[in-house]
Amino acid sequence: MKDRLAYLPEERGLYQKQRVGDILVFLGELKGLPHHIARKRSDEYLDRVGLLETRKKKMRELSKGMQQKVQIAAVLQHEPALVILDEPLIGLDPANRALVIDLLKETAARGAAVILSTHLMEQVEALCSRIVLIHHGKEVLSGPLRQVKESHADRSILIETDGPLEGRPEVERIIGHKDGLTRLVLRESPEKFLATLVSEGRTIRHFEHALPSLDEIFLKATEAKP
């Protein structure tokens, strides 16, 4: 079973005085790959993360971001069935984050289970289908991402319409404006508010329930806990 597992720690643990390609071949062989396959895979995955030209360099010659990508290549090269990742995008610029995210999505698409540990909720929302929120080492909520967000939804909406919304009795408060949309909290159901606007002849260009972010859900779920 160990050959089917892969783990990426948050702290980098590669051999700093060894050559990049040799390290990947060694780690591939530890996971049961024959030497010629490990050599082929190491080149393939270094190429996937844009570091094929570094295979003869020593690890200590690479930047932190490059070392992180080497670790990700090392984790994925034996194509494990279960991948456990602790803050995999740390130290990466936006372009390299997008590259690694694509690799992780490909890994999941081929049937592997990918477990991601991170404090960055936007990464969770972009990558995960199921979540577990942990506070002080204890689970506070879990489930499919969409289901969790819907279960914590309130009467917030995103709307784009002609005419003002401030001062309306149905509106409890306006949270803010972004990209032409107004986010607000209602005193009544969104469906009833929409029907009222339509009856007034208002032009509705956008109207949707505003699901809370995971940051908002986490704060709400943990606010009463020690």
- The answer to whether the pTM exceeds 0.85 is no
Number of helices (H), then strands (E), belonging to the chain: the values are 8, 9
Same-domain check for residues 172 and 105: no
Per-residue pLDDT, 95? 93
Q: What is the pLDDT of residue 120?
A: 87
Which CATH number fits the domain that encloses residue 55?
A: 3.40.50.300
Number of Cβ within a 10 Å radius of residue 159: 21
Do 96 and 170 lie in a common domain? no
The pLDDT of residue 10 is: 85
Q: Answer whether residue 4 shows pLDDT above 60.
A: yes
Residues 106 and 187 in one domain: no
Burial (0-12, 13-18, 19+ Cβ within 10 Å), 69:
buried
Q: Name the phi and psi angles at 45, rounded to 5.
A: -80, -30
pLDDT at residue 28 in the model: 95
Domain shared by 115 and 193, yes or no? no
pLDDT tens-digit readout, 101-137? 999 999 999 999 999 999 888 889 888 999 999 998 9
Same domain, 83 and 171: no
What residues make up the domain containing 202? Answer: 154-210
Tokens 């948050």 belong to which residue?
10
Q: Which of 144, 87, 145, 153 is nearest to 120 (CA)?
A: 87
Which tokens is 112 given?
């592997």
Residue 215 lies in a domain: no
58 and 122 co-located in one domain: yes
30-40: per-residue pLDDT in tens?
999 999 999 99
Same domain, residue pair 42 and 122: yes
Question: Tell me, what's the pLDDT at 224?
Answer: 55
**What is the structure's pLDDT at 69?**
94
Say whether both 106 and 172 belong to one domain.
no
pLDDT tens digits, 53-98? 999 999 999 999 999 999 999 999 999 999 999 999 988 999 999 9
| C-alpha to C-alpha distance for 31 and 18, rounded to whole angstroms | 19
- 184, containing H or E segment: strand 181-186
Could you report the per-residue pLDDT of 39-55, keeping only the tens digit for each? 999 999 999 999 999 99
In a domain, 110, yes or no: yes
Residue 189 lies in a domain: yes
Work out the average pLDDT over 155-168.
Answer: 92
Backbone angles phi, psi at 49, to 5 degrees: -95, 10
Question: Both 20 and 124 in a single domain?
Answer: yes
Residue 174 clears pLDDT 90, i.e. is over it: yes
Torsional sign, CA 212, 131, 215, 66: negative
- pLDDT, residue 206, reads 95
pLDDT for res 73 = 95
Distance in angstroms (rounded) separating the CA atoms of residues 59 and 70:
9
Predicted pLDDT at 225: 56
- Both 25 and 102 in one domain: the answer is yes
DSSP-derived 3-state class of residue 156: strand
Alpha helical stretches, state H, the chain: 20-30, 35-48, 64-76, 94-109, 121-127, 145-151, 190-199, 214-222
- Within this chain, do residues 36 and 78 fall inside the same structural domain, yes or no? yes
DSSP for 7-34, written as a single string: EE-SS----TTSBHHHHHHHHHHHTT--
CA distance 48 to 40: 12
pLDDT digits (tens, 9 = 90+) for 206-221: 999 888 888 888 888 8
Number of domains in the chain: 2
The CATH number that applies at residue 183 is 3.30.70
pLDDT at position 222 over 70: yes
The reply to whether 42 falls in a domain is yes
Residue 33 pLDDT: 95
Same domain, 200 and 110: no
Which of helix, strand or coil describes residue 137? coil
